[in-house]
Amino acid sequence: MPYTRLRYHIVTATHERKPFIFPDIERFIFAVMRAEARKMGCEIIAIGGIEDHLHMVSAIPPKIAVSIFIREVKTESSRAVKRQFAHMNKFAWQVGYSAFTVNPFDMKRLIHYVENQRERHARDDLWTEFERIE
């Protein structure tokens, strides 16, 4: 039986990089994304971001295309935000994203990077390659 352990660092932004992801709804968005990932047989290991974009470290099995995973978590989180928060009816994700495979030996460092996005942006201590979103 084949064995895979595929981990991805995914970065996505809000539509037109509008500052939508404020702390008061951040936990809600993250919870919805994690629940949608579980429905697909995937896992969001770590998630973090600032007002206009977020980073995820995700485990995605080979039977699920990365593009499908991203589309589903973004679509469901966008719908849920609009249902839950009336003032967020313009909330949307941009179409593009960045996705990188992760070396298993770098996981601990990457998880720390992702979970501390607000602090890193405040200090301008960023890994510029991972901040690009196409």
Domain containing 62 equals 7-131
Give pTM, 2 decimals: 0.87
Domain count, the chain: 1
| Residue whose entry in the numeric block shows the structure tokens 């970065």 | 11
**pLDDT of 132 over the 80 cut:** no
Query: Quick check: is 1 in a domain?
Result: no
Query: Quick check: is 73 in a domain?
Result: yes
Query: Quick check: is 74 in a domain?
Result: yes
Q: What is the CATH number of the domain that holds 27?
A: 3.30.70.1290
What token pair was written down for 53? 């974009």
pLDDT tens column, 28-46: 999 999 999 999 999 999 9
Radius of gyration from C-alpha coordinates of the chain? 14
pLDDT tens column, 42-93: 999 999 998 899 999 999 999 999 999 999 999 999 999 999 998 999 999 9
Query: CA-CA distance, 67 to 15, in Å (whole number)?
Result: 17
pLDDT band at 134 (very low <50, low <70, confident <90, very high): very low
Query: Quick check: is 2 in a domain?
Result: no
